[in-house]
Chain A
Amino acid sequence: MQSTNHKRKAIVEWIWKHLFLIMATVSIISVLTIGFFVISNGVKPFIGSSSNETIIYLEKFKATDQVKLDGELITDFKNAIGLEDGVHTLTYITSDGIEEIDITVDSKNEDPSQTVIFSDEPENSSLDETVKYTSVLTIEGKTSVLDRKISVVVPEPAYSIVDFLFGSEWKPTSQKLYGILPMIIGTLGVTAGALVLGVPIGILTGVYIAELAPKRVAQVLRPAVELLAGIPSVVFGFFGLTVIVPMIQQLFGLASGTSMLAAIIILGVMILPTVISMTATSLRAVPNYYREGSLALGATKIQTIFSVTMRAARSGILTGVVLGIGRAVGETMAVILVAGNSPQVPDSILSSVRTLTSSIALEMSYASGRHSEMLYAIGIVLFLFIVVLNVVIMRLNKKAGDH
């Protein structure tokens, strides 16, 4: 009896232990898949062309129309025909009998203008090549609803990483240009501005809470800072849009107040709680005999704080600043609402600016194909940035440990 009971207990123990282990493993796996999915989507544009084949889309194709590929009649397709590498000729014969269009696709041709050739454009048709890698031939019907459209989409070649990181033009739909330099500069500029505004105020407030404030006051201030940290970023953005933006507009007499400055002010306020709480926490961790020693040597309270206590708490305060950088870089919705979002390198603090995160949130809903993959690539850039920040934080903590 005793032994079966013992056995049962052991089994229960074993089951629970392994359940815990499974949950820990699940957590790690879910963490790793994030990196995998973001990276696997984001590297695609740089390692190969956007598609293996040229695709021809036929809009308003009638059952009585005929399509011949390299002379052979094809019947089994649904509005789209994929052409593999090589030279192909597609002949499109409308059932009205008058129009026969030859489309020659030579995917291996070095000259991009020779890749797709429409021969014998019929009279009532128009060719549109404003979108790069896509040619659309419209054959007018009786009304515009009945227009037949033939779109030839040539695969985009692999994009160079240099053009991606240092290209200054972001025209993802019409020109297929994916230069994110304006957004990188925008993110760095806005973050730097937010630091200039938020770090001194944050550190000084942290000093007040940890070193100077009477106990009662500190007990009110700490939850206030937590509350500031808890306010949703959209609410910050909305406040910026309804208060800060009009203020900037009036102050500087601008057509629109959505600007880099507005984003800087909002982000500066948003990083305050991080900087304040890290400063206060690390100051409080400094042993009291540091302060006592300094005061006994005749230093004033303020001198003690700035030359002894803060020096001892340096790495913690710096960690707070680095975390603040992370928050500013990663912030999305608040920035979208106040920054104006035009993808150009800002020429002044009052001009419109777009950040890396804004691009993802603004365009993901309609992006497809390579455009969407490029947004994932922006995600990788952000990811790497945060990894670097984490390494910096680890270095700082290690230094504190050595100290």
Chain B
Amino acid sequence: MSRKTKDMLIKSLILLSTGFTVGILVIIIGYITFRGFGALSFDFIFGSADQGGIWPMIVSTMYIVGISLAISVPVGIMAAIYLTEYAKQTRFVGLIRLATQSLSGIPSIIFGLFGLALFVRAFGFNVSILSAGLTLAIMNLPVIIRATEEALKSVPQSYREGSLGLGATKIYTIWKVVLPSALPGILTAVILAVGRIVGESAPVLLTAGVLKDVPMSMFDGGRTLTVHLYLLAQEAISPHDFQIAFATATVLIVIVLIINLVARFVSAKLDKTKA
């Protein structure tokens, strides 16, 4: 085989693979939205579960996102500030980094087991949106710490030196100079964390349960959109059930699309400020 034909062959394989990747993305999104879009309606989004609506699931999902962000964002950002701005590069800090790094690869179901043992049983929060929120907060903590660290590290050292040189205290420098410059990076990480929480299902199934009502307090169980879709997919028999399942999947895809767009918008701003 001549060099040219060999090159052509490999090149077409490369194009074929790229085509497959793009194709499967288009097919998944296209097929689900095509079959689900028709069922989207005001009643579907804002109706109760008995009427085939998903409002309780939307509320549960939002509560869980809220609880886990309320904990993981401040704790994660402060921990990252300590690690980058204060801590000396000791072995201890290296160990912390290693721990957060390895934690991000752990299967989410293990976080579910942990949340079940600690929050649901040991703390007695029962199967509730609080347990799920706390579990997902811990799951997202390493990701937020790492992203914030990266964002803080990308702030030029000269910014800090300039501020300190003008007589500002260290904490003033962090609040007024370092954090604002790192904000887009941190924000992108937070937005992507929202996407991960919305899309997570296994740990939520174990810690928040499958109850179909709007949770009245943090200690009530609740069903998220993903768990709803999972149960619908498992139990669906009639075409109507599938219709609802497709519509729920469409809602999830739309949320993910919006989150991705917002994250891109924010990180585009980041590039602009850098340039």
Contacts and interface: CB of A to CB of B under 8 A. Distances in A.
A238 B13 contact: no
Contacts of A228: 21, 24-25
Interface in B53-81: 74-76, 78-79, 81
Nearest to A23: B78
B18 to A, nearest CB: 4
A394 to B, nearest CB: 8
A332 B199 CA distance: 13
A330 B86 contact: no
Contacts of B113: 37-38, 41, 360, 364, 375-376, 379
Interface residues of B, number: 85
A48 B160 CA distance: 58
Contacts of A33: 114, 118
A201 interface: yes
B249 interface: yes
Given A38-B113, A208-B15, A390-B102, A27 B141 contact: yes
Interface stretch (B3-11, B44-52, B176-184, B211-219): B3-11
A238 B251 CA distance: 13
B202 interface: yes
Contact of B202 (A30, A243, A332): A332
B110 A300 contact: no
Interface in A354-387: 357, 360-361, 364-365, 375-376, 379, 382-383, 386-387
B113 to A, nearest CB: 5
A262 B99 CA distance: 35
A396 to B, nearest CB: 13
Contact of A27 (B76, B171, B192): B76
Contact of A204 (B7, B13, B85): B13
Contacts of A221: 18, 22
Contact of B252 (A235, A303, A390): A235
Contacts of A332: 107-109, 201-202
Nearest to B101: A390
Contacts of A231: 28-29, 199, 253, 256
Contact of B79 (A23, A223, A227, A390): A23
Nearest to B134: A30
A241 interface: yes
B22 A23 contact: no
A167 to B, nearest CB: 21
B21 A272 contact: yes
B105 A390 contact: yes
Contacts of B199: 230-235
A28 B96 contact: yes
Contacts of B142: 27, 31
B171 A383 contact: no
B171 A37 contact: no
B17 A204 contact: yes
Q: Among B87, B110, B174, find the residue whose CB has the most chain A CB atoms closer than 10 A.
A: B110
Contacts of A224: 21-22, 25
B138 interface: yes
Contact of B100 (A9, A31, A230, A303): A31
A361 B14 CA distance: 38
Interface string A299-311: 0111100100000
A302 B7 contact: yes
B82 A24 contact: yes
Contact of B107 (A37, A232, A301, A382): A382
Contacts of B174: 16
Interface residues of A, number: 82
Q: Among B102, B109, B201, find the residue whose CB has the most chain A CB atoms closer than 10 A.
A: B109
B264 A330 contact: no
Interface in B135-150: 138, 141-142, 145
B105 A326 contact: yes
Contact of A208 (B18, B78, B79, B201): B18
Contacts of A330: 105-110
B242 A242 contact: yes
B103 interface: yes
B14 A204 contact: yes
Interface string A25-41: 01110111110011001
B111 A34 contact: yes
A238 B249 CA distance: 8
A84 interface: no
Contacts of B78: 19-20, 23-24
A194 B85 CA distance: 42
Interface in B223-275: 226-227, 229-230, 233-234, 242, 245-246, 249, 252-253, 256-257, 259-260, 264
Contacts of A170: none
B62 to A, nearest CB: 16
Given A208-B17, A390-B102, 9 more contacts: A24-B82, A31-B141, A34-B106, A37-B113, A37-B117, A228-B25, A323-B105, A383-B106, A386-B105
Interface of B: 3, 6-7, 10-11, 13-18, 20-22, 24-25, 28-29, 31-32, 74-76, 78-79, 81-83, 85-87, 96, 99-103, 105-114, 116-118, 122, 138, 141-142, 145, 169-171, 174, 192, 195, 198-202, 205-206, 226-227, 229-230, 233-234, 242, 245-246, 249, 252-253, 256-257, 259-260, 264
Interface of A: 9, 12-13, 16-17, 19-21, 23-24, 26-28, 30-34, 37-38, 41, 200-202, 204-205, 207-209, 212-213, 221, 223-228, 230-239, 241-243, 269, 272, 276, 300-303, 306, 323, 326, 329-333, 336-337, 357, 360-361, 364-365, 375-376, 379, 382-383, 386-387, 389-390
29 contacts: A9-B169, A24-B82, A27-B96, A27-B141, A27-B142, A27-B145, A33-B118, A34-B110, A34-B138, A37-B117, A38-B110, A201-B21, A205-B17, A205-B18, A208-B14, A223-B260, A228-B25, A230-B192, A234-B229, A234-B249, A235-B252, A329-B107, A332-B108, A332-B109, A333-B230, A336-B234, A364-B112, A364-B206, A379-B109
